[in-house]
Structure formats: C-alpha cells, structure tokens
A and B are shown apart, each in its own frame.
Chain A
Amino acid sequence: EVQLVESGGGLVQPGASLKLSCVASGFTFSDYWMSWVRQTPGKTMEWIGDIKYDGSYTNYAPSLKNRFTISRDNAKSTLYLQMSNVRSEDTATYYCTREGYVYVMDAWGQGASVTVSS
C-alpha cells in the first residue's frame, strides 16, 4: 500500500524557518517525481513545487521559490520542504504528493498543519 506520512508541522513565529518531512513507503520512491501542495484555511489549493526522481531538478511556484526549498533523500525514501522567513499567509496544511506517470498526483499524505503566528 502506498503511504506518505508528513511530519514537522506546528506553530512557528513569523520570520522563522521550518522543515517538513514526508516518509514514503509501499513503492519505489526513487522512481517518482514528488510534489508539495498546500491548502489554506479557506481551502484554496496551491502547488508549491516538485522534484525529479533523482533529486537533480526542481520546479517551484514563482511566488514561493525564494523562500521554499524542496529536497529528497532517496536512501531514506524521504521528501523535504524547507521553509524560511515564514509569514502568516504560509499558514496551511502541507501535503506531500506522488506524481504518477500520467501527470497526476496519485497519492497524497495526510497533511502537516503549519500555523504562523506570534
């Protein structure tokens, strides 16, 4: 069974940094591109970015690329999202997703909640 489990969320102060992790199981992690998607409290879905299966290439939403960094460790089957200089508008649930071969997000984690507040 494909599983994606995010961790690392919580309450963080404005301007701080936070790193989310996503551990994958049930499939060969190193065969797939992976994405991060966030959902705001108002339920808006926003794609953050993705990373190639070997970690050699990333794409980002233009509005986030200066503050967010996606990486992966295929030996640990783990995807990461490094968030820096966080703002209140970064408050959201962050989902790790697998990008299937037919250009879809065919598996989603349960989400990690991040609240940015002083």
Chain B
Amino acid sequence: DIVMTQGALPNPVPSGESASITCQSSKSLLHSNGKTYLNWYLQRPGQSPQLLIYWMSTRASGVSDRFSGSGSGTDFTLKISSVEAEDVGVYYCQQFLEYPLTFGSGTKLEIK
C-alpha cells in the first residue's frame, strides 16, 4: 500500500498569515500520462470532507485561489495564503494512483 505521511502545523496560525501543509507518499504518484494523482480535502468541524485540490495543483470548482498545491512525485505542499476563520479544520491528502486508495493522517489548522 502507498503510505501517505502528513506534517503538523505550528498552531494556531495568526489570521492573515500563510500556512503550508506537507504530505509525503511512499511511492511516486506521477502517472505515465504526466498527471500526479494527489488530492487534498478539507474537513471543517462537524462537516463532511470536501475536495480542494486534485492532480496535485488543480483547484476544484469554487475553491478560493488562496489555496494552491505543489510538489514533486513524492513530496507535496498545500499552501493557504492569508488564512481566514473559514479555513479551520483538518486537511487530508489522498493518493488516487493505485488501489487501495490511501489517505494521510490529517493536519489540523487552527486560527489565532
């Protein structure tokens, strides 16, 4: 199985500052078609997860441009510029390259 390892944030993050969440995969998520099958989701308190980023760097429909994804085949970063109260929650990375699909353990974001 591909293991997804997420880093922690130095919470709380001051409102208006940027925050970067890291995720590492045990195997390259770069497909032969050139796409990297790494997704990011946000689970706000009391809600279901929602898709933020797919193919490592493509924002899902309706997602603020304050969210950006980047990385290589095995190391990934979700950057949130100018964090706001609505960004509070747990962020999960997920690989969709091969079965079984796997998630990171989650990174909690708190705002000061």
Among the listed B37, B60, B103, B106, which residue makes an inter-chain contact with A103, where contact means beta carbons less than 8 Å apart?
B37
Among the listed B55, B60, B92, B100, which residue makes an inter-chain contact with A45, where contact means beta carbons less than 8 Å apart?
B92
Among the listed B41, B58, B100, B106, which residue makes an inter-chain contact with A105, where contact means beta carbons less than 8 Å apart?
B41
**Chain B 89-108 interface mask (CB, 8 Å, partner A; 1/0):** 01010101001111101100
Q: Which residues of B contact A109 (CB under 8 A)?
A: 48
Residue in A closest to B108 when the chains form the complex, CB atoms: A43
Query: Separation in Å of the A103 CB from the closest CB of chain B?
Result: 4
What band does the interface of chain A fall in when counting residues whose beta carbon is under 8 Å from B?
20 to 34
A16, B58: Cα distance in complex, Å: 43
**Chain A 53-77 interface mask (CB, 8 Å, partner B; 1/0):** 0000001111000000000000000
Query: Separation in Å of the B42 CB from the closest CB of chain A?
Result: 11
Cβ-defined contact, B48 with A103, below 8 A: no
